[in-house]
Amino acid sequence: MTIRLTEHRLFKSILTGFLSFTLALLILFYVNAIISSSGSYPTSLRTILSLSSTSSTIVELPSASERCRQLLGADDILVIVKTGATALRERLPVHFQTTLQCTQHYVVYSDMEEEFEGHHIHDVLSGVSAEMKKSAPEFKFYRDLHENRDRVTEFMREDASVQRKAWRLDKWKFLPIVERALQAKPNAKWFMFIEADTFLVWSNLLKWLSQLDSGKAYFLGLPVTMEGQLFAYGGAGWLLSQPAIQRMTHHMASQDDDYEHFTNKTSFGDLVLGYVLEQAGLRLTGVWPLIQRETPSTMEYTKDLWCYPVVTFHHIDSPDIKSIWDLEQEWLADTQATLLHFDIFNHLVYPRLATKIDDWDNFSHGEEVVLTSDEGFEDCKLLCEKDVLCMQFRFTPKKCTMSHAVTLGWKADPSINSISGWMMERITQIKASVRCEGEKWISID
């Protein structure tokens, strides 16, 4: 009997130990799963099992798109995407997969009405007067486009000048897009205008606008002056508050014909927009580097830039859009911190720098030194080393160009024999010394 009781206790002890071991493994597995995620989650919901001795609870964490849709202020903003039928097939899909998942209200305007990947695309030029459509040379392409609407992709391949014609037609979209935007969401507090190759850091836009008074008439963007006219560079993105868009549309309502003729004799649509807004009593407020025209690869990174939040990039392709959006979602999942230019540099640019990259142009544009035919890349590097502020250099036959800023750049034509180099030790030291005490937003009176 004693032997049987001992065996029974031994069995219970083994069973208890096995259950405790299994429970420990389960806890270790889920803790490891949480830690290894580094604060980011996949696009589908992750379920986490809450272990206790009495019950199990399923906790669902939001997906990336759900997190960014829950941000405060989203209902107050209309995002307007300006594109064209010859560009949207290549450029729009990545926006539908990234930022436009976050925005509660957006509309896409083009030069042809159509359905694309389940989204309605509006023809913003449909309201241009019949007289102007007949007389303005750019509308010859508009008519050709509509006549070939069932074979747009093929139509694009047939004529190498199609994109140039599409660009010329684009100037006609800037004024009607403002009127149509107000009609699309009359109660919006803010109207954010971007192009199909503009990336919008949605979470930063919301944080920025929460600090501004939407009851004031604001026209915000990247200032450019051409032909004596100040205007916002279109591709960088530009913003109108509710009072500003109301004032502009009221002003335009009495002068439609005049502004159509003004557009007809002007080459740039964003210049036309700047002129009309100025006539309506609205002057542009520059907000660089929140809104700017570069990509992470072409940006000049200096100490003056690090701590500013980034709201837009321009001329950006799909892979880069996806990379920045993924980084933004990691930020939201982790601490909901503001994504700074330093963060973009630290995660997307710095890892790609090197002491030497062949067939590469890093856009060094500072001091230029003429070299002899016997001098090469290493001699150029020595010149950069002697200048304590030099961060990078570029060697081409018989020339060395140095720069105090850091830029990644892009691949160069091999025939140019361009070799780029970065002073990695200096750049690493500067990167380690960056301390952003709060975010440097643009103050607007």
Q: What is the pLDDT of residue 419?
A: 98
Same domain, 237 and 293: yes
Same domain, 304 and 379: no
Its domain, for residue 221, covers 69-313
Same domain, 305 and 358: no
Confidence of residue 63 (pLDDT cuts 50, 70, 90): low
Same domain, 301 and 389: no
Confidence of residue 31 (pLDDT cuts 50, 70, 90): very low
**CATH number of the domain within which 94 lies:** 3.90.550.50
Rounded to an integer, what distance in angstroms lies between the CA atom of residue 408 and that of residue 360? 9
Same domain, 360 and 305: no
The tens digit of pLDDT for each residue in 400-419 reads 999 999 999 999 999 999 99
Same domain, 308 and 442: no
The tens digit of pLDDT for each residue in 99-150 reads 999 999 999 999 999 999 999 999 999 999 999 999 999 999 999 999 988 8
Rounded to an integer, what distance in angstroms lies between the CA atom of residue 73 and that of residue 203? 10
Does residue 332 fall inside a structural domain?
Answer: no
Question: Which pair of tokens denotes residue 82?
Answer: 């300006």
Same domain, 126 and 73: yes
Same domain, 122 and 252: yes
Does residue 52 fall inside a structural domain?
Answer: no
φ/ψ (deg, to 5) at 90? -90, -35
Picking from 119, 224, 112, the residue whose alpha carbon sits closest to that of residue 170 is 112
Does residue 212 fall inside a structural domain?
Answer: yes
Q: What is the pLDDT of residue 426?
A: 98
Domain boundary among 313, 339, 369: 313
Rounded to an integer, what distance in angstroms lies between the CA atom of residue 396 and that of residue 368? 11
How does the average pLDDT of the chain come out, rounded? 86
Does residue 207 fall inside a structural domain?
Answer: yes
Considering the chain, what percentage of its residues have pLDDT values greater than 70?
84
Question: Which pair of tokens denotes residue 393?
Answer: 């250099």
Q: What is the pLDDT of residue 333?
A: 86
Question: Which pair of tokens denotes residue 352?
Answer: 């790609």
Same domain, 211 and 121: yes
Q: Which of 9-13, 331-335, 389-393 has the lowest mean pLDDT?
A: 9-13
Q: Cα 165 from chain centroid?
A: 26
Same domain, 197 and 292: yes
* For residue 289, cis peptide bond before it (omega within 30 degrees of 0): yes
SS (H, E, C) the chain: CHHHHHHHHHHHHHHHHHHHHHHHHHHHHHHHHHHHCCCCCCCCCEEEEECCCCCCEEEEECCHHHHHHCCCCHHHEEEEEECCCCCHHHHHHHHHHCHHHHCCCEEEEECCCEEECCEEEEECCCCCCHHHHHHCCCHHHHHHHHHCHHHHHHHHHHCCCHHHHHHHHHHHHHHHHHHHHHHHCCCCCEEEEEECCEEECHHHHHHHHCCCCCCCCCEEECEEEECCEEEECHHHCEEEEHHHHHHHHHHHHCCHHHHHHHHHCCCCHHHHHHHHHHHCCCCCEECCCCCCCCCCCCCCECCCCCCCECCEEECCCHHHHHHHHHHHHHHHHHCCCCCEHHHHHHHHHHHHCCCCEECEECCCCCCEEECCCCCCHHHHHHHHHHCCCCCEEEEECCEEEEECCECCCEECCHHHCCEEEECHHHHHHHHHHCCCCCCCCCCCC
Domain boundary among 313, 343, 372: 313
The tens digit of pLDDT for each residue in 201-215 reads 999 999 999 999 999
How many structural domains compose the chain? 2
Q: What is the pLDDT of residue 439?
A: 83
Who has greater pLDDT, 5 or 274?
274
Average pLDDT over residues 54-81: 71
Question: Which pair of tokens denotes residue 241?
Answer: 């508050």
Does residue 181 fall inside a structural domain?
Answer: yes
Global confidence as pTM: 0.84
Does residue 340 fall inside a structural domain?
Answer: no
Same domain, 381 and 290: no
**CATH number of the domain within which 406 lies:** 3.50.4
Does residue 40 fall inside a structural domain?
Answer: no
The 10 Å Cβ neighbour count of residue 97 is 16
Under 8 Å between Cβ of 327 and 346: no
Same domain, 285 and 143: yes
Does residue 169 fall inside a structural domain?
Answer: yes
Domain boundary among 313, 341, 371: 313
